[in-house]
Amino acid sequence: MARVLRILLIILILLILIAVVWWFFQRNSEGDTTTNTTTNITISAPTGGFEAPEAIVVETPSDTDADGLADSEELDLGTKIDIPDTDADGLADYDEVRIYTTNPLRSDSDDDGFSDGDEVEQGFNPNGAGPLLNTQQAITDDRNQ
Ligand SMILES: [Ca+2]
Ligand SMILES: [Ca+2]
Ligand SMILES: [Ca+2]
Ligand SMILES: [Ca+2]
CA dihedral 98, 102, 105, 106 (to 10 degrees): -160
pLDDT digit string (tens) for the chain, length 145 residues: 688 999 999 999 999 999 999 999 988 777 655 555 555 555 555 556 667 777 777 677 799 999 999 999 999 999 999 999 999 999 999 999 999 999 999 999 999 999 999 999 999 999 988 888 755 555 566 666 6
In the chain, how many domains are there?
Answer: 2
**Residues that place a CB less than 5 A from ion ligand 2:** 65, 67, 79, 93
Asked if residue 55 is part of any domain, the answer here is no
| pLDDT in the model for residue 102 | 96
Show the CA angle centred on residue 11, arms to residues 6 and 12, nearest 5°: 95
* Confidence at residue 48, expressed as pLDDT on a 0 to 100 scale: 63
- The reply to whether 64 falls in a domain is no
- Residues around ion ligand 4, judged by CB within 5 A, are 108, 110, 112, 114
Spatial separation of the C-alpha atoms in residues 135 and 4, rounded to whole Å: 129
Which residues is 124 bridged to in the sheet?
Answer: 131
Shared domain check, 139 and 93: yes
Neighbours of ion ligand 3 (CB under 5 A): 85, 87, 89, 91
pLDDT at 121: 94
Q: 71 near 62, Cβ under 8 Å?
A: yes
Residue 44 resides in a domain: no
* 119: containing domain: 71-144
Check: CB of residue 102 under 8 Å from CB of residue 96: yes
C-alpha span between 88 and 86 (Å, rounded):
6
